Structure 1
C-alpha cells in the first residue's frame, strides 16, 4: 500500500445549488443548500484513501462544530488524523455556488488553516515515511515551503497543486517534483494561455508538470520527453467541485504503486470522471473498485502524443 502524507487545508463547504450563478449585484433563487466536508488538502487526502492509499493528514481545524465534523469525515474515509490539530477559533469554510452546468465559483475563508504556519513535532517524520507529499496553497506559504523542504530532505516525491493561483517562490518550485495546475492556474503562473506553451515554460522551474484540462483531460510534460495528452471520459457533470483534488489524490496512489505516468493519468481521469457525476466534494469521491471498473471498461481513450 502506498503511503501518502497531505499537508493542507480542511474546510466546511457551504454549497448553494442554483440554475444559474448570480452576476454582480444580482439575486437568484437556489434550489438546495448543503454543508459538505471539503478543503483542498482534506479532499486530496480522502481521494487518496478511497483510492487505496495509506494517508496521513497534517493541518488544523477549529474548536467548533465544523471542526468535529471535518475530523470525523476524514477518519471515516480511513485517513489518519493524529496530526490534524484543533486550534481556538473557527474552522475554515468555503462558500460555493454550483450551477446547472456543474460549474462552480468559490470563496474560501481560511479560519484555522491560517494558523498552520510551519511543521510541528512529528510532522517531519510523518512526511519522511511517505512515498509522496501532497501540497496545495490554502495554507500559509511558510508551511507549504516547510513541507516541501522536508520532503526533499527525505527523498519523498512532492506534488504541488498551485491553487489558489499565486506567485510561487523559487525555493518552493525548486523543491517540487510534480506540479499539477489546471489550465487557468497554469496561465496565471506563466502568462501563457496555450497549455502546451505553459507546460514548456513551467519545465524551466520543475521537472514534471500535469495540467488538468477539465472535460478535455490532462497534459503531461517532463524534461527531455515529448508532451503526452490523456483525454477524459465523456460524462455529464453534475458538480465539478473537487474534481481536480480527486484527480491528484488518485494520481498519487497510482504513482506510488509504480504505475507509469500514462496509466496513472488514465486511472486518475476515471476517478475524476466519477466524482463530477455526483454532488459535493468528498461525498463525490469514488472508492477504488469504482475507479478500477471504469478504467477497465475500456471507455477511456488511450493517451496520445
Structure 2
C-alpha cells in the first residue's frame, strides 16, 4: 500500500471552554485550561493513520514535556516519526483555543519549534516518497517549505494535497505543484480575493480551479462538502450530529480524505463521503487530536451520506 506523507506543524493545544466567544476588547470567564497534542499537521497525520493509511511525518518539536507527549501520541497511532526533529533552541508550538457552548472556536497559534523546520528536514523526510503516495501540507510552517515540499512530491509522481489554512496572504507560486486544495468557506473566499474572483463557496469551488491550477474540495460545516468533476458540482451532505466541539474537524476531514485517496486513487467523491463521516464523529467529542476517530468506530455510529453526483 502507498503512504501518506505529512509535512507540517505540531503543537500543544491549550483549550479553554467559555459560554460565548469574546468580542474585541471583552474578557470572559472560562474553564480551567486543558493541554493536549495538536497542530494541523499532527492532527491530519493522526487522522490518516487512524483511517488505516501508513503515515510518515516530517516536523519539529521542542525538547520539552509537550514535545515528548506529542511524539508518544504519534507513535501510538503507528506514525513513522523518524523525521520529526527535536530542537533544543525553541519550545514546542502552542495553540490557545477557546471553545463556546455551541462548539465554535477561536484559535491563536504560536509557532515555536515549527518555525525551525528547515529545507534539509523536508528533503530528507520526503526522500522515500514515490509515485502513488500522497503528500499532505498545511500553512502552519514557513510557506517556502510548503512550496519546496510540493515540488519534490510532484517530481516523484506523488499526489499533493494542500489544506490552505491558515488562509494565505499571498500566493507567490504556492499552488504551482498542488493537485488538490482543501479549504473551508473563509479560506476559499480568501483565495478568491487573491485571485480576483468572487461568488459563494459553491460557485468558487467551480470557478477557482481554472484560475488557481488545482482542483478544490470546499468544506462548509453543516452544509457538507463540495467539489467539481467533469464540470458538474458534486455535493456530499454533512452527517447530522450533536456538536460538542468543532476543533480538529477540518483536520480529520483532510486526513481521512488523504488516506482514502491512497487506498483508492481518483475516487474523490467516495473519499469525501468517508471524510465527512469521520469529521462528523469528531465534532461530537471535545478536543482536537483526541477527538479524531479510528476507522473501526465509524460504521457503528454514522451512516454514509448520500452523494449528490450529477449523471
Report the TM-score when normalising by structure 2.
0.92
Measure how far apart 1:201 and its partner are: 3.4
Match of 1:236 among 222, 242, 247: 242
User: Mapping of 1:54-65 within 5 angstroms?
Assistant: 54-65=54-65
1:302 aligns with 2:307: yes
Match of 1:248 among 251, 254, 269: 254
Cα RMSD, aligned residues only: 1.7
Measure how far apart 1:294 and its partner are: 4.4
Q: Distance in 1 between matches of 2:224 and 2:108?
A: 25
Ranges of 4+ aligned residues in structure 1 off by more than 3 Å: 126-130, 167-170, 292-295
Which residue in 1 is equivalent to 2:182?
Answer: 180
Which residue in 2 is equivalent to 1:19?
Answer: 19
Structure 1: segments with no counterpart, 5+ residues: none
1:267 aligns with 2:274: yes
Measure how far apart 1:129 and its partner are: 7.0
Question: Does the aligned pair in 2 maintain the 1:89–1:112 contact within 8 Å?
Answer: yes
- Kindly provide the CA deviation profile for residues 245-276 of structure 1, in whole angstroms up to 9, marking residues without a partner as x: 00010011111111622211111100000000
Match of 1:157 among 122, 140, 159: 159
Question: Does the aligned pair in 2 maintain the 1:254–1:264 contact within 8 Å?
Answer: yes
Measure how far apart 1:89 and its partner are: 1.5
User: Mapping of 1:134-173 within 5 angstroms?
Assistant: 134-173=136-175
Question: Does the aligned pair in 1 maintain the 2:234–2:307 contact within 8 Å?
Answer: no
1:215 aligns with 2:222: yes
Question: Does the aligned pair in 1 maintain the 2:60–2:84 contact within 8 Å?
Answer: yes
- Kindly provide the CA deviation profile for residues 108-128 of structure 1, in whole angstroms up to 9, marking residues without a partner as x: 000000111424352231333
* Secondary structure, counterpart of 1:181 in structure 2: strand
1:89 aligns with 2:90: yes
- Kindly provide the CA deviation profile for residues 160-200 of structure 1, in whole angstroms up to 9, marking residues without a partner as x: 00011013435331200000011110001103350122223
The 3 A distance-change label for structure 1 pair 152 and 237 is same
